[in-house]
Amino acid sequence: MCRLITLIISLGICSLATGDTIKATIKGTACDLCASTIEKTFRAQPEVKTVDVDLENRVVTIQTRQGLTIDDSKIRKLLGDAGYSVVAVARKKQ
């Protein structure tokens, strides 16, 4: 009985797990075309679940898929290759 309860609890915890939330502060964004370029770039990455670009605050919020992550160096490279400078990258584990 104890093993069954442990299994049920473990399965419940695993199903609640989500990916990371990553916020990259950038320079060089000014318009909707900038936002759509960044969104298209990150949506093409297999580890990315969602991406949102806040032009006013110059923040790109990336939600990764469960069990996957994207390295800061890859984020910096993707944004740099698209023509933007990264000021900071902050992570929050969900």
The pLDDT value recorded for residue 29 is 79
Domains and CATH numbers, the chain: 18-93 (3.30.70.100)
The pLDDT value recorded for residue 14 is 47
The pLDDT value recorded for residue 2 is 55
Residues 6+ apart with CB under 8 A from 35: 29, 53, 55
Angle between helices 72-81 and 32-43 (to 10 degrees): 130
Quick one: which of 37, 81, 86 has its CA closest to 59? 86
pTM above 0.85, yes or no: no
One pLDDT digit (tens) per residue for the chain, 94 residues: 555 454 445 544 444 557 899 999 999 878 888 899 999 999 999 999 999 999 999 999 999 999 999 999 999 999 999 999 999 999 987 6
